[in-house]
Chain A
Amino acid sequence: MEVSNKLVNDLAPQKFGKKGVIWTTALIIISVAGIIAYIDQVRKGQIVTNMNDYALWGIYISNFVFFVATSFVGAVTVAILRLTKNTWRTPIVRIAEIISVAAIIMAGLTIMIDMGRPDRLLNLFIHGRMQSPIIWDVIIIPTSIAVCLLILYFPLLPDMAILKKYYSETKPKLSKWYGRLSLNWTGSEKQKSIQLKSIQIVALLLIPVGFMLQTVDAWLFSTLFRVGWDSTNMGGYFISGAAVAGIGALVAVVFIVRRAYKLENYITELHFDKLGKFLVLTCLIYLYFNINEYVIPEFTSKKEEVTHLNHLYSGQFAPLFWFVNIGGLIIPIIVLLFKKGRKPLTMFFIALLVVVGSWWKRFLIVTPTLLHPFLPVQGVPESWHHYFPSFHEWTITIATLAMALLIITALVRYLPVIPIQRTADEQSLIESEKKAKP
């Protein structure tokens, strides 16, 4: 199908303006600060963190869980919307794929940051036991990275060929790169056939891999028999929570990209309305799991579990707990249930609330349980009962978030965020349908 110049002009990657340059520079500076802090952590050891004998997992692991959850957006939006043949997905799927790739890469890096001796990473493969959920995680994360890269790459092939042609005169060097990445795409029937078949397979593969990733992540906790984690609900709970975090991140990024690249004609209010409905659906499912996880056990659980829950309801973590549940879940549900609440700007703020809530939610999953061990040690220092990340931990964690945004920014800068060929195909189909009508 022939692609119009206007379409390519609109959807081809654009050079960043002043704001874009400032944004990218800021992300690079934060990332470098994080790398310096990490080098210092490797040199001095994890003594620079505030983790202790009780809080042996801290902000790194909660950040890791957040990244894993966010990467689920690919499985939810790309695979599920594709397999359910929702045509409105076209302008948002690539952004979802980009977020997935960025999040899963950073999840892999973050887990290494938590390791006291990252130089022993290879030992996980050499001496790993298949019985350990850590090994399941070590296996599923590279697998997810591979699948996320493939789901991003296959649909890009025709667009790469278009961009090669588009930049052939104005930017020959860039055009050469697009040409290489297009893998000699000519749009031949054979190429199209292989590509469509491959996309279908990888979309199908993304769902079980995404579910496995989230479930393994949940089992990292639920196999430990600890109060707050020892729950058969955990797998589904993590999957639904990941859908919320992923779609929340998607809405926020889609809003910014739409505004920065002036894509209002392609990403319309209809898309935000649909995404809003999708987000409220996932929030409702997550709310259901939260009720199962937090409300019912209050009446049915043993003393330790109830103590833990009360600690969340009214203890030192209560402000965070209520913010996460009300701000990150109930308010978004109420707002998004109304059509006016699904307008782009409102959705953007709600999405930010959801993402921030999702991040702190992971902190609440990890930390309070660790501070209440089953066998408390007598006479431990008072500080062991509390955990707040150190300067190193904050710097490194913020840097990982900045790196994820940097990956997204780089991909948004050099890849067409809306599939050009597919949009052209759809527009042509609509026009032919219009012509066909009497």
Chain B
Amino acid sequence: MSSLELRGDVVILACAVSAGIHGALVTDHFEEGAGAGLGFAAAAALLAAFAVALTLHPASVLALIGVAAVFAVLLAGYALATTSGLPVLHPHPEPVDGLALATKAIEAIGLLAALHALQRKGPLTWAHHGLRAPSRSR
């Protein structure tokens, strides 16, 4: 397995972990408010969809861009939720907790892996089609 393929797998696993955690906490967040509940449900659904998309189409640039965007939004959203609050979804700051920090760490790893895979998109695409990327020296 190449390092690029490994990064693709990391992105998929990060999506799966984050989707599972967000999905499990949807009901809790609906108790808090419709905005927070819908936000968690949307995050879980999007991450699950991207995990499936990247499993079926590992070289999909759109899926990688999408998942990187979702991770970035989730990380920024959590930073706001624990500091100033998120307008509409989570207006007032919440305390930092271990489960959220662990989730954010996994999402950050997923984001970095997705960005790296996007940078190397060409070779990754070739590799997943069973081909060697053309040499730049030729």
A binds B: no
